Amino acid sequence: MSRLHIHSVHPPAPGQDTAAMPLLSSEDGAVIAAELAARGLRFERWPARGELAEGADQEAILSAYAGEIARIQSQGRYPTVDAIRLGPDHPERQALRLKFLAEHTHAEDEVRFFVEGQGLFCLHIGEEVLQVLCTRGDLIGVPAGTRHWFDMGAAPRFTALRFFDNPEGWVAQFTGDDIASRYPLLDPLPEAATA
């Protein structure tokens, strides 16, 4: 189920953990959409089609979701689309997780439609950190320049359509800020990754 937590970026009072005390927490799709819209973000819940075959490749995924792709591309802003599918046996899962966990921005919007599984988008906007757990059927749109990071968990299992206005696809500019280390993840990082 989709979930939103909104945290303050201000340091906690002595003995308090800011990340453990969200200012707002909701699993209501309408509340999530309204809170994100108030901050210039897009969130929608769409019906997800039937299960994808275990070995579905990018072409099969894009074909299965041709209607949703046409719906987004009809808005004229995102001519390039691909599909990312990561499972718990992906050989680069740990390296990819650490890369996505570093706060970064993009010169273009980041638009994702989750067709399987889940992922945690964390958005650093002004004096807030918004954590959006996206699950199957969630569409999220993050405007260009928004500071954010993404956690897919230690044993990822998700498939998402990614829309771009840049034919090069995913290009990040890392901020160097360690803010992501101060907020909850889908699950803890292994000790070797944090040392």
The CA dihedral of 156, 157, 158, 159, to the nearest 10 degrees, is 120
- What predicted TM-score, i.e. pTM, was given to this entire model? 0.89
pLDDT at 146 over 90: yes
CATH architecture classification, 3-11+20-47+57-180: Sandwich (2.60)
The CA distance from 129 to 138, in Å, is: 19
Average pLDDT over residues 36-56: 91
pLDDT at 118 over 80: yes
Read off the pLDDT of residues 17-28 as tens digits, 9 standing for 90 and up. Answer: 555 678 999 999
Phi, psi (5° rounding) for residue 60?
Answer: -65, -40
Token pair of 88 as six digits = 């718990």
